[in-house]
Amino acid sequence: MDKEPASLTKKVEEFLQVFKKGEEFTQELLKENEKLRYKVAQLDEVTKFSGREGDFKVNTLEEKIKFLEEENKSLLQRYRVVAEENKDFANRYVEVEAENNNLANLYVASYQLHSTLDFSECLKIILEIVMNLIGAEEFSIMMLDERTNELTIVAQEGMGPEAQASVKLGDGIIGSASKSGEAFYREGDPTDLQGVDYLHPLVCIPLKIKEHVIGVIVIYKLLVQKTIFSNVDYELFTMLAGHAATALFSSKLYSQSERKLTTIQSFLDLLKEK
């Protein structure tokens, strides 16, 4: 019986030892757990903080992107406006250039018309203008004789022998245009011709000093390369209507006065001799 209590005591002691160790181990585990919980809490803090910082950075970058996108949009808008302005300037440049060339043509034509007081030279210059600047192949200049009311060809280029040398004022297209003083332009394509018809010209430009008609420029056919009348052609027609008329009229008056001067001079010389 004594042996049994002794072994029991031993077992109890052993159990107590194990229990104590278990308690110590548990205590250590609790401490370790405490430490880990502390670390976890610390990590939680760090994560929370870095999350906030990350959010802040993302927000900043997003704002920057938004700003840059806005700036890009505004630059694109400005680029479009500038490109449009540029296009507009280019178009205006082309227009100004064309106008400049037209003015050069008109200037040269009017300069040449008033560069002489010789009637035949004046006629030659008008022929040159109509041929080289307008591009006519067959055309004539007719002058009006106010006593007979007849228009007679005084200069021509490229016309055949079947062309009428004179026309009565009011007769046909040429006579009517000259009587009314209104320019005549045949409708349709100016190159659409089945041979030249001298009764149906392409263009009649009455030569007028104010409202007084002194003659007419008649175009029957254009050069093969001339397909349409451009704006400058109509400007040239208008310019010729006035300037060619004054140039022809003044050169004719000058020639007449020169002749009269010579006659008077001859008379004076005769009187002196007597």
- Contact residues for other proteins (CB under 8 A)? 97-98, 101, 104-105, 107-109, 111-112, 115, 125, 128-129, 131-135, 137, 223-226
In angstroms, give the least distance from the CB of 56 to other proteins: 56
Helix or strand or coil: residue 168? strand
In angstroms, give the least distance from the CB of 189 to other proteins: 17
In angstroms, give the least distance from the CB of 124 to other proteins: 9
Identify which of residues 116 and 164 has a Cβ nearer to other proteins in the complex: 116
Name the CA radius of gyration of the chain, rounded: 54
Going by C-beta distance under 8 Å and a sequence separation of 6 or more, which residues neighbour residue 110?
239, 243
Helices (H) and strands (E) in the chain, counts: 5, 6
In angstroms, give the least distance from the CB of 133 to other proteins: 5
* Distance in angstroms (rounded) separating the CA atoms of residues 267 and 178: 40
> Among 136, 128, 134, 143, which residue's Cα sits nearest to residue 248?
143
Identify which of residues 74 and 100 has a Cβ nearer to other proteins in the complex: 100
Identify which of residues 125 and 142 has a Cβ nearer to other proteins in the complex: 125
Identify which of residues 137 and 150 has a Cβ nearer to other proteins in the complex: 137
Q: Is there a contact between 119 and 248 (Cβ–Cβ < 8 Å)?
A: yes
Identify which of residues 167 and 233 has a Cβ nearer to other proteins in the complex: 233
In angstroms, give the least distance from the CB of 98 to other proteins: 8
Cα–Cα separations (whole angstroms), residue 268 to 188, 256, 257, 260: 61, 18, 16, 12
Q: What is the DSSP letter of 223?
A: -
